[in-house]
């Protein structure tokens, strides 16, 4: 079936369809690029990341899950981060 016919039946402008196809070919995503900001506004600071890695490598805490590590970090260090950050 021709694109023009399909677009007409769907009530979709052909140029819009072509723009969607072009964006998909360029980005391999529907709707263009990745949604959201390029950098998270509340991301961890480099010092916080270092502290988390240091804590996770410590022999005392090596066997803890990321959820348990986040609790330990908030109780015993200066790092306040969600479990998903670990």
- Output the CA–CA distances (angstroms, integers) from residue 65 to 4, 35, 38, 77, 85, in the order listed: 55, 30, 29, 17, 12
Please report which confidence band the pLDDT of residue 86 belongs to, taking 50, 70 and 90 as the band edges. low
pLDDT attached to residue 9: 93
* Contact assessment for residue 70 and residue 52, using Cβ atoms and an 8 Å cutoff: no
DSSP character for 45? Answer: P
Q: Which has more pLDDT, 55 or 78? A: 55
pLDDT tens column, 12-69? 999 999 999 998 898 887 776 677 788 888 888 888 888 888 888 888 888 888 888 8
């Amino acid at each position: 079936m021709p694109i023009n016919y399909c677009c007409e039946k769907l009530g979709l402008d052909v140029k819009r369809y072509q723009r969607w196809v072009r964006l998909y070919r360029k980005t391999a995503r529907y709707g263009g690029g990745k949604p959201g900001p390029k950098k998270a506004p509340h991301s961890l600071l480099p010092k916080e990341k270092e502290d988390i890695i240091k804590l996770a490598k410590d022999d005392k805490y090596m066997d803890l899950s990321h959820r348990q590590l986040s609790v330990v970090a908030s109780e015993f260090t200066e790092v306040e981060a969600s479990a998903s950050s670990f």
